[in-house]
Amino acid sequence: MVDGGITDQPGPYTIRLSLSSSIDSAIYKPFVNCELVINDEEGTSETLNEVEPGVYMTNIDGIKGETGKSYQLTIHTPSDRVYRSGFEELLAGEKIDSVYGRIEYREVEEYDYNLQGYQFYVDTKLAEKDTNNYLWRLEATFHYQSDYTIRWIFDGELNWFHGPDSLFNCWKTYVVEDFFSMSTRSLSTPKIVAYPLHFVNTETRQLSVKYSLLVRQYTLNQNAFKFWDALREQNASSASLYAVQPYQIRGNIYNVDDPNEPVLGYFLVAGLDEKRIFVDRPKYPVEFNYSVCTLSDRDFEAYSEMYMADPVTYPIYAIETNGGRRAVPHKACTDCREKGGIIAKPDFWED
């Protein structure tokens, strides 16, 4: 699987390689120790660095994507197989006009009530060309909080947890698996309005404090659009690049010695525009249904027993109720990192 490419924005550029897995157990298996080279039609080239397993990246001051030029990817595997793309022309990136969210309701078969949340949309600016092909890929970050504030910390000794609770606020970033594509070919004017992106419901903590969405809009050549749009149609129920791909949807990568070998994915050469938005926690009457911590008798007993705790469980975080009682709830109730986030606020974050 090949995922990534080069754009008209400054690098570095990233390409991810993975091995296909069985339909019964679709897991991500990075393809390591390969040599990847991006070159343009004029002979400029750069060998990518493997920065983590299966993730290859150009240098920040390396090759630059330029509108009108064509680019090619070559992959040398540890078993001496060579894979290559054809040359793809890099088109100028059309601009995003706006990205926005609306509170909407969804009827979902597994639930006996309508889901509530934000449906996100994108508008493009009016383009000069009549036909433009777009791909949208999304990255989200959300701010969430612990259920309880830490008052005491025990690591063999009991001490007051000084200052503001540094484990109360977390931020989590993830790539939205869904991708979206559309062409202006059938429109009377080359402008897309209110194209629906993904829906985020209130069944989790994603909208509990603040949510940020980064939309990357790629302007594709016709070959790339055919691939992504066919993949979107095939995986309409789950438009994920890592969903099952039938081999007849061929990308632009081929085995130099065996062109009939199926190779999944696409080396993307495209113009790029980005826009980030923030939305606050939806207000009443929107309801949230994610689980929250509640104190039990066992949590209060755990406080009195923490002096007997195995040191491998340190540090132990204790809370104090309004009535002055102390308890040791599950760590996920006090340390927001237990839910997968980090305590470092992203540089781009807006409070």
Instruction: Report the C-alpha gap between 8 and 69 in whole angstroms.
Output: 10
Q: Whole domain around residue 50: which residue ranges?
A: 2-90
DSSP state of 240: B
pLDDT tens-place string over residues 44-79: 999 999 999 999 999 999 999 999 999 999 999 999
Of 306, 350, 348, give the one whose Cα is nearest residue 331.
Answer: 306
Tell me, yes or no, whether 336 lies in a domain.
no
Phi, psi of 338 (to 5 degrees): -65, -20
Tell me, yes or no, whether 290 lies in a domain.
no
SS3 210: strand
The pLDDT value given to residue 243: 52
Please check the confidence at residue 244 and state whether its pLDDT lies above 70.
no
Q: Average the pLDDT over each of 17-31, 78-92, 96-110, 286-300 and give the range with the smallest value.
A: 17-31
Q: How confident is the model at residue 233 (pLDDT cuts 50, 70, 90)?
A: confident
Please check the confidence at residue 236 and state whether its pLDDT lies above 70.
no
The pLDDT value given to residue 26: 59
Phi, psi of 241 (to 5 degrees): -60, -30
Please check the confidence at residue 21 and state whether its pLDDT lies above 70.
no
Of 211, 197, 228, give the one whose Cα is nearest residue 122.
Answer: 197
Tell me, yes or no, whether 40 lies in a domain.
yes
pLDDT tens-place string over residues 111-133: 999 999 999 999 999 999 999 99
The whole-model pTM stands at 0.91
How many domains is the chain built from? 1
Query: Mean pLDDT across the stretch 81-95?
Result: 96
Angle CA 239–240–241, to nearest 5 = 125
Tell me, yes or no, whether 321 lies in a domain.
no
Angle CA 121–124–130, to nearest 5 = 135
Between the alpha carbon of residue 347 and those of residues 140, 141, 344, 351, the distances in Å are 14, 12, 9, 11
Instruction: Report the C-alpha gap between 267 and 272 in whole angstroms.
Output: 14
Please check the confidence at residue 10 and state whether its pLDDT lies above 90.
yes
Strands 210-220 and 265-280, sheet pairing = antiparallel
SS3 40: strand
SS3 141: strand
Which is more confidently placed, 131 or 247? 131
The pLDDT value given to residue 63: 97
CATH number at residue 19: 2.60.40
Which is more confidently placed, 62 or 28? 62
Query: Mean pLDDT across the stretch 148-165?
Result: 94
Q: Which residues pair with 265 in a beta bridge?
A: 2
Residue listed under structure tokens 């609770």:
165
The pLDDT value given to residue 176: 96
DSSP state of 308: G
Please check the confidence at residue 235 and state whether its pLDDT lies above 80.
no
> First vs last Cα of the chain: how many Å apart?
38
Q: How confident is the model at residue 322 (pLDDT cuts 50, 70, 90)?
A: very high
The pLDDT value given to residue 86: 93
Instruction: Assess whether the previous peptide bond of 12 is cis (omega < 30° from 0).
Output: yes
DSSP state of 270: E
Tell me, yes or no, whether 183 lies in a domain.
no
Instruction: Report the C-alpha gap between 245 and 235 in whole angstroms.
Output: 8
Listed in order, strand segments (DSSP E) in 146-237 are 152-154, 158-160, 169-183, 195-201, 210-220
Q: How confident is the model at residue 239 (pLDDT cuts 50, 70, 90)?
A: very low
Q: Could you give the percent of the chain with pLDDT greater than 70?
A: 95
CB burial of residue 60 (10 Å; 0-12, 13-18, 19+): exposed
The pLDDT value given to residue 28: 79
Tell me, yes or no, whether 36 lies in a domain.
yes
Query: Mean pLDDT across the stretch 81-103?
Result: 97
Spell out a b/e string for 295-323, using b for 16 or more CB atoms within 10 Å of the CB, else e: beeebeebbeebeeeeeeeebbbbbeeee
Tell me, yes or no, whether 202 lies in a domain.
no
Tell me, yes or no, whether 10 lies in a domain.
yes
Would you say 123 and 195 are in contact if contact means Cβ atoms under 8 Å apart? Answer: yes
pLDDT tens-place string over residues 179-200: 999 999 999 999 999 999 999 9
Query: Mean pLDDT across the stretch 139-165?
Result: 95
The pLDDT value given to residue 272: 98
At residue 112, what is the residue type?
D
- The mean pLDDT of the chain is 93
The pLDDT value given to residue 22: 52
Q: Average the pLDDT over each of 10-24, 227-241, 246-260, 336-350 and give the range with the smallest value.
A: 227-241
